Structure 1
Amino acid sequence: MQPSEVPPMRLSSILICAILLLTACRSQPPAAPAAPPTTAAAPTQPPQAGAAPTQAAAAAPQGGTVTVGLDQEPPTMDPEASPSAITFYISSSAGETLLYVDENRQLQPWLAQSWDVSPDAKSFTFKLRNDVTFQDGTPFNAQAVKWNLDRVVDPNYKAGSALAQLTGYTGTDVLDDYTARVNFKDPFVPFLIYAGSPYMPMLSPTATQKQGDAVNQTPVMSGPYKIDEWVAKDHITMSRWDGYKRRAPWSDHDGAGYLDKVVWRFIPEPGTRAATVESGETQMATVLTPTDIPRLQSEGLQIASKPWVGMPFQMFLTTTKPPTDDLKVRQAIEYGIDRDALVSALYQGIGQKAIGPLTAVMLDDPSLRAYYPHDVTKAGQLLDQAGWTPGSDGIRTKDGQRLQFSLNAIDYGGGPDQSNQLIQGQLRQIGMDVSIKAQARPPWYEDNYHCANHGMELFLRSGELDVLDAAFDSANVGGNFN
Structure 2
Amino acid sequence: MTRKGITAAALALAVTTTGLGGGAQAQEIVWARDGDIDSLDPHRATSTLSRQLWYQIYDSLLEFDENGRPTGNLARDWTVADGGREVTFQLHDDILCHDGTPFTAEDVKWTADRALSEDNPSITKASWGPITEVEVVDELTVRFHLETPFAAFVPFMADQFTSMLCDSNAELERFGVDAAVGTGPWRFVDWTKGDEIVLERNEDYVNRGRPVENPGPPHAEQLIVRTMPEGQTRVAALRTGEVDLIVPPIEEVESLRGDPNFELHVAEGTGQNMFLEFAVSRPPFDDVRARRAIAHALDFEMALGIVFGDLVQRERCPVSRGVLGNDQDFCARHAPEYDPQKARELLNELGYGPDNPMEVILATWYGDNRDDVLQVFQNQLRQLGIEAEIEVMDIGTLNARVKQENNRTEGPGFIDLMGWTWFDPDVLYLLWHSPGAYEGYTDPELDELLEATRTTLDREEREAVVQDVFVHLLENAVHVPVYTPGWLWMYAGSEDAAGFTIGPFNRPLFNDVGR
Same fold? TM cut 0.5: yes
Q: Corresponding residue for 2:172?
A: 210
Q: Which runs of 4+ in 1 moved over 6 A?
A: 479-482
Gaps of 5+ in 1: 1-61, 397-402
SS at match of 1:307: coil
Alignment of 1:329-344 (within 5 A): 329-344=290-305
Instruction: Report 1:228-247 matches (<5 A).
Output: 228-242=189-203, 244-247=204-207
Match 1:405 to one of 361, 365, 372: 361
Q: When the two structures are superposed, what TM-score results if normalisation uses the length of structure 2?
A: 0.70
Structure 1 range deviating more: 196-205 or 428-437: 428-437
Offset, 1:207: 1.5
Match of 1:153 among 116, 121, 133: 116
Choose which of 194, 197, 210 in structure 1 pairs with 2:159. 197
RMSD: 3.1
Report whether the alignment pairs 1:375 with 2:339.
yes
Per-residue Cα deviation, 1:392-444 (whole angstroms, up to 9, x for no partner): xx743xxxxxx33351x2223x8883123323333344344444443334444
CA distance in 1, matches of 2:254, 2:357: 39
Within a 5 Å distance, the mapping from 1:98-113 to structure 2 comes to 98-113=61-76
Deviation at residue 390 of structure 1 after TM alignment: 3.9
Tell me, what secondary structure is at the counterpart of 2:60? Answer: coil
Whether the 8 Å CA contact 1:311–1:357 is kept in 2: the answer is no
Bigger relative contact order (CA 8 A; separation at least 6): 1
SS at match of 1:75: coil
Return the offset for 1:215. 0.9
Cα pair distance change 1:208/1:442, threshold 3 Å: farther
1:208–1:220 Cα contact (<8 Å) kept: no
Counterpart check, 1:477 vs 2:432: no
CA distance in 2, matches of 1:337, 1:299: 38
Contact in 2 for aligned 1:290/1:350 (Cα 8 Å): no
Among 40, 43, 54, the residue aligned to 1:91: 54
Q: Which residue of 2 aligns with 1:134?
A: 97
Matches within 5 A, 1:294-309: 294=255, 296-309=257-270
The whole-number CA distance in structure 1 between the counterparts of 2:85 and 2:390 is: 44
- Pair 1:386 & 2:350 matched: yes
Contact kept, 8 Å, 2:131 with 2:145, in 1: the verdict is yes
Post-superposition CA distance 1:259-290 (Å, at most 9, x none): 22112222334343333222212111125416
CA shift for structure 1 position 149: 1.8
Shift of 1:201: 0.6
Amino acid at match of 2:116: V
- 1:65 maps to 28
CA distance in 2: counterparts of 1:328 and 1:351, whole angstroms: 29
- How many angstroms does 1:126 deviate by? 1.0
- Identify which of 440, 454, 459 aligns with 2:418: 459
**Structure 2 Cα separation of the partners of residues 102 and 183 of structure 1:** 26
Could you tell me how far 1:227 is from its partner in structure 2?
2.6
CA distance in 2, matches of 1:440, 1:428: 26
- AA aligned to 1:417 is D
CA drift at 1:99: 1.1
- Residue 156 to residue 435, structure 1, CA distance change in 2 (3 Å): farther
Identity of aligned residues (%): 21
With normalisation by structure 1, the TM-score equals 0.74
The verdict on how the C-alpha distance between 1:87 and 1:208 changes in structure 2, with shifts beyond 3 A counting, is: farther
Distance of aligned partners of 1:364 and 1:420 in 2 relative to their CA distance in 1, 3 Å threshold: same
What is the rounded CA distance, in whole Å, between the counterparts of 1:424 and 1:281 in structure 2? 40
Whether contact under 8 Å (1:318, 1:324) holds in the other structure is yes
Secondary structure at the aligned position of 2:56 is classed as coil
**Which amino acid is the alignment partner of residue 84 of structure 1?**
S
Match of 1:8 in 2: none
Separation of aligned partners in 2, 1:193 and 1:423: 36
Residues 1:272 and 1:468: Cα distance change in structure 2 (over 3 Å): same
Alignment of structure 1 residues 26-37 onto 2, 5 Å: none
Aligned length: 406
State how 1:247-258 maps to structure 2 within 5 Å: 247-250=207-210, 251-258=212-219
How far has the Cα of 1:144 moved from its partner?
Answer: 2.2
Confirm or deny: 8 A CA contact 2:319 2:425 kept in the other structure: no
* Residue aligned with 1:238, SS: strand
Aligned-residue offset at 1:334: 0.8
User: Offset at 1:346?
Assistant: 1.5
Query: Are the counterparts in 1 of residues 298 and 380 from structure 2 also a CA contact under 8 Å?
Result: yes
Verify the 8 A CA contact 1:164 1:470 in the aligned structure 2. Answer: no
The one-letter code of the counterpart of 2:50 is T
Could you say if the C-alpha distance between residues 254 and 368 of structure 1 is closer, same or farther in structure 2, counting changes exceeding 3 Å? closer
- The residue aligned with 2:133 is 171
Partner of 2:45: 82
| Higher relative helix content | 2
Call closer, same or farther: CA 1:474–1:442 in 2, change over 3 Å. Answer: closer
d(CA) in 1 for partners of 2:270 and 2:129?
A: 22
Distance 2:438 2:45 in 1: 12
